[in-house]
Structure 1
Amino acid sequence: MCRPLNSKELQRIFEKLDKNGDGVVSVEEIKWVLDGIGVAISLEEIGFVVGGKSSLNLNEFISFYASISSSSSSSSSSSSSNGDDDDDDDDDLVKAFKVFDMNGDGFISCEELQMVLSRLGLWDGKDCRVMICVYDTNLDGMLDYQEFKHMMSVHAVS
């Protein structure tokens, strides 16, 4: 499974979500991001986790992340006792790959990468070709699943 986000990464995500700079993000914005990365959660479920608040400041956002990541890690630890941890990791990677492979052709193109990062508010204007080039071992200009898996394993360690 991917490593948890650190506080600096969470602050960066929070700042991207807080478009008007008022120091809070709404639960609707959080749901939008989670939907964008393929996490199916209702507004009611988010509301329950955040104690019925309509918006979160940075500390509350970090607590929210901790609560959803601890619940997902506890569910994966229960499956790891069955020896299925690697399967869960691969399932998560396949799901993540499908989020980026928007046209379902089995490859992540520069355009797809840019579109998903833009939707998440994480694209900083860098050329996505450069990002892909680093992990594109067969030099076709796109990432296949194995290249994506390698990229994620490198970033999970660093």
Structure 2
Amino acid sequence: MSRLSVNDLDRIFKSLDRKREGHVSIYELQQLLDRVGNHTTIGELQNLVGSTNLDYFDFFFFYEAVMKSKISENKEGNCDSLESDLLEAFKVFDINGDGFISSEELQSVLLRLGLLENGNGDCKKMIKVYDINSDGVLDFEEFKNMMSLSDSSKV
């Protein structure tokens, strides 16, 4: 799983903090996690977070804890676990289930996650960078390549 940049996390936090109160509730966090395919209960989140709200810094610490957990799981597990995680992530982006991620699907998911504002961003260019066979869409292998090669300073 590719790490998000500080800017990405900042945008996600701001999109979740709709009332601009300086915190997000675990209910808002649960909705985000559900949208990306990581289903959890409010009770599990509250036990993990330790409260019903996360301020800006708690949100970053939560993300870091989740990433460390994923890295630890992948080290203890095997490549099948990583492959499974990537397949689940691919399914989130492949909205119509045709086995490909189009620029429209990419834009839709990035908007939903708060990573694009008002449709700004050229998703066709983003896809073109990793579209090995130049068919204008990403298949699962191209998506895996993108996720393994990308880091938070790219794209």
1:92 aligns with 2:85: yes
Quote the residue 2:97 is aligned against: 104
Aligned partner of 1:27: which letter? I
Partner of 1:144: 139
C-alpha distance after superposition, 1:100-141 (max 9, x if no partner): 111111100112111111111112311221211222222221
Moved over 6 A (4+): none
Q: Percent of counterpart pairs with the same letter?
A: 45
> How many residue pairs are counted as aligned between the two chains?
151
- TM-score, with structure 1 as normaliser: 0.84
Hey, what's the Cα distance between the residues in 2 that align with 1:154 and 1:116? Answer: 20
Seen in structure 2, the aligned counterparts of structure 1 residues 117 and 50 have a Cα distance that, compared at 3 Å, is same
The one-letter amino acid paired with 1:148 is: F
In the alignment, is residue 47 of structure 1 matched against residue 42 of structure 2?
no
Per the normalisation by structure 2, the TM-score is 0.85
Q: Aligned AA for 1:13?
A: I
Contact persistence 2:27–2:42 (CA under 8 A):
yes
Which amino acid is 1:107 matched to?
Answer: F
1:121-140 matches, within 5 Å, as 121-124=114-117, 125-140=120-135
Counterpart for residue 64 of structure 2: 66
Q: RCO greater where, 1 or 2, for CA within 8 Å and sep 6 or more?
A: 2
Q: Secondary structure of 1:25's partner?
A: strand
| Alignment root-mean-square deviation, CA | 2.0
Q: Name stretches of at least 5 consecutive residues in structure 2 with no aligned partner.
A: none
